[in-house]
Amino acid sequence: MNFLGAHILSINQFDTQDVERLFSIADQMQPYAHRELKTRVLEGAILGSLFFEPSTRTRISFGCAFNLLGGQVRETTEIKSSALAKGESLYDTARVISGYSDIIVMRHTMDGSVEEFSKASRVPVINAGDGSAEHPSQALLDLYTIKKELNIEGEINGLNIALVGDLKYGRTVHSLCKLLKLYKNISFTLISPSELKMPKDIVDDLLKSGHEVNETENMETGLGDKHLVYLTRIQEERFNNQEEANTYRGRFRLNQSIYTAHCEPDTVIMHPLPRDSRAEANELDNDLNQHPSLAIFRQADNGVLIRMALFALTLGIEKDIHLTSNKVNWYTDRRF
């Protein structure tokens, strides 16, 4: 794909070469994200950050990524604090904000809303999550993390992976499946309540691309023999009422004793976060916090690298980053 000036709306825009290109730029961002070097390459540029749905990691990491490249962030959070609450259309918001910004990152409750917005935008738009549809930058950082955690150089082949939880409404697992589809011989075990199964079109596409898919409600057997287990939260905000969401909370949990009994000793544990740590849910227990295969915080850290790389490529400054770079002059002894 041609990244320059592109809207990043769906993972379907990417092929494996695009992914490798992005990942090699992400690798180059390490010294900046780790606060060894600083760069001013985006000095003067403005990111419009529009999050019309709750977000911690995605919003802050997109903002940090832009700041780390030297740019500024202007943001609005929640529909109620923006003019959308006064009945403004996505079209008008897009026309206006794209006049103030060089690039826009947007999250919204409705499937397809970011694409609709992008059609009226005068600058590139990155989808930071539209309803239960897609979350492309998350899938990219997830795949980047998978490769780092499993020491995979080049193309992925023969991965054995379990996706657990709310596979119906979880946009992260939708985008991740669409991305993994591009590779070879992946065995997917999809563990969810039968009412929250992965959408059929996504499963059909995986099968058509030659992958193996097993769907089950049995977490214990589903966890066996996996390189990786990817847990998700019940997406309570997508249900008609909380009672319905409550019936699924806590159904599938991973903790130290379940891990020891059913996983390989080094099965990598991932979760897009936030994990729901309330007692009735707790899909990923704190008793695994010190486990060396718990990748969740390295996964969240990788979000900054991937988002810096997306900005660099869409704004065409990927070759200039190091031209303006200097050592940082503050205390940076980070304990990883």
Which of 40, 57, 197, 253 touches ligand NCD (CB under 6 A)? 57
Q: How many CB atoms lie within 10 A of CB 167?
A: 23
138 binds ligand NCD (CB under 6 A): yes
211 binds ligand NCD (CB under 6 A): no
- CB-CB contact of 127 with 8 (8 Å): yes
For residue 57, give both structure tokens. Answer: 């990691």
CA–CA distance, 183 with 217 (Å, rounded to integer): 26
63 binds ligand NCD (CB under 6 A): no
Instruction: Tell which positions 143-172 bind ligand NCD, by CB under 6 A.
Output: 171-172
108 binds ligand NCD (CB under 6 A): no
307 binds ligand NCD (CB under 6 A): no
Instruction: Tell which positions 245-284 bind ligand NCD, by CB under 6 A.
Output: 272-273
What burial letters (b/e) apply to 179-196, b meaning 16+ CB within 10 Å? Answer: bbbbbeebbbbbbbbeeb
CA–CA distance, 9 with 314 (Å, rounded to integer): 12
Which of 70, 129, 131, 222 touches ligand NCD (CB under 6 A)? 129
Q: How far is the CB of 29 from ligand NCD (least distance, A)?
A: 19
Q: How far is the CB of 223 from ligand NCD (least distance, A)?
A: 20
Strand partners, 228: 161, 268
Q: How far is the CB of 237 from ligand NCD (least distance, A)?
A: 8
- CB-CB contact of 321 with 46 (8 Å): no
- Chain positions contacting ligand NCD, by CB under 6 A: 57-58, 129, 135, 138, 171-172, 233, 235, 272-273
